[in-house]
């Protein structure tokens, strides 16, 4: 699935949540619950995307003998199973920490790197 495919799925999930919320009724106490559920869904989607990118980086490493310098290098191997963006549409940050270690980070719901809501995968 390419980045466009991932974003299409994300939009479909968002539309489904909105439709279900509308059909269910919008009592005042339900709105915060629905927003929280939608936020949790975005977090789960982003974590799944980070794991898929981790596999792509490891596959690249096996095939090329080294970790990529950037995530864009993964595209030379063909279509990615995961997009380079998180569920909020922001680019995922990749850091090569050493010869064998790397970090993938999403800025999380607030869109700011370096605070407690960041989603991070260290390998």
Task: Please give the chain's pLDDT, 123 residues, in tens.
Answer: 455 677 778 777 887 888 876 776 656 666 677 778 878 899 999 999 999 999 999 999 999 999 999 998 988 777 775 578 999 999 999 999 999 999 999 999 999 999 999 999 999
Find out whether 17 and 41 touch, Cβ atoms under 8 Å.
yes
pLDDT at 1: 47
Q: pTM of this prediction?
A: 0.72
pLDDT at 49: 93
H or E stretch at 56: helix 30-64
Find out whether 93 and 104 touch, Cβ atoms under 8 Å.
yes
Q: Look up the domain containing 42 and give its range.
A: 3-122
Alpha-carbon gap, residue 115 to 113, rounded angstroms:
6
Alpha-carbon gap, residue 116 to 60, rounded angstroms:
30
| Domain CATH number, residue 72 | 3.30.700.10
Structural domain count of the chain = 1
pLDDT at 2: 54
pLDDT at 4: 62
């Amino acid at each position: 699935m390419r980045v466009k495919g991932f974003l299409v799925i994300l939009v479909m999930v968002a539309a489904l949540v909105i439709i279900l919320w509308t059909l269910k009724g919008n009592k005042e106490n339900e709105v915060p619950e629905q927003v929280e559920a939608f936020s949790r869904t975005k977090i789960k989607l982003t974590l799944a995307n980070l794991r898929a990118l981790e596999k792509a980086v490891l596959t690249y490493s096996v095939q090329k003998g080294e970790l990529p310098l950037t995530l864009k290098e993964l595209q030379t191997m063909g279509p990615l199973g995961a997009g380079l963006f998180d569920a909020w549409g922001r680019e995922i940050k990749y850091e090569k920490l050493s010869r064998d270690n790397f970090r993938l980070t999403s800025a999380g719901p607030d869109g700011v790197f370096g605070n407690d809501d960041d989603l991070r995968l260290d390998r």
